[in-house]
Amino acid sequence: MSEEKKDLGDKAEEAFDKAKEAAKDAAEDAKEAASDFSKEAKETAKEFGEGLKGATQGENKKILVGILAIIVGSLGIHKFILGYQKEGFILLGITVVGMVLTCVGVGVFLVWATGLIGLIEGIIYLTKSDEEFYNTYQAGKKPWF
């Protein structure tokens, strides 16, 4: 019996050593796979971030500014969003003066003109491609039309 127990003990020890080595190999494989996955995830996140940055700079601002220019273009809000404070204040000032002078009759023309400017600019903004819009109005800083 004691030899049987000894043989069983040796077999168990061999099985334990094999299991230990298999676990070590599996851990190394998992470590390599995790490292590869981490590198791929970082590259994908970087590409996604660059794409997202481009989208927020171009398309989203283009749509927002275009719609605001069409709806409330006479107030110059779209100019302020694009970073053109001087042009925004010009449109806003002309509109306010026009509203004050509406009782004289001349003011109606001023409010109508600033509204028409906003409408035209909104249509121009929305018909440009995202890249063209970004290069012209955000990077190139073209303030009018």
- Over the stretch 57-88, which tens digit does the pLDDT of each residue have? 545 688 999 999 999 999 999 999 988 999 99
> Phi/psi zone of residue 76: left (φ > 0), alpha (ψ -120 to 50 degrees), beta?
left
Structure tokens at 10: 């040796």
Is residue 54 scored above 60 in pLDDT?
no
pLDDT band at 135 (very low <50, low <70, confident <90, very high): confident
Helix axes 59-72, 2-57, angle to 10 degrees: 40
Q: What is the domain partition of the chain in residue ranges?
A: 1-53, 58-139
Structure tokens at 52: 């997202």
pLDDT, position 17: 78
pTM over 0.85: no
* Average pLDDT of every residue of the chain: 80
Half-sphere exposure of 108 (CA within 13 A, CB side): 3
Of these ranges, 7-11, 95-99, 130-134, the one predicted with the greatest mean pLDDT is: 95-99
Q: Between these two residues, 36 and 3, which has the higher pLDDT value? A: 36
pLDDT, position 122: 92
Structure tokens at 20: 């230990």
With 0-12 CB in 10 A as exposed, 13-18 as middle and 19+ as buried, what is 3? exposed
For the segment 24-50, the average pLDDT, to the nearest whole number, is 71
pLDDT, position 58: 46
Is residue 108 scored above 70 in pLDDT?
yes
Structure tokens at 125: 């903004």
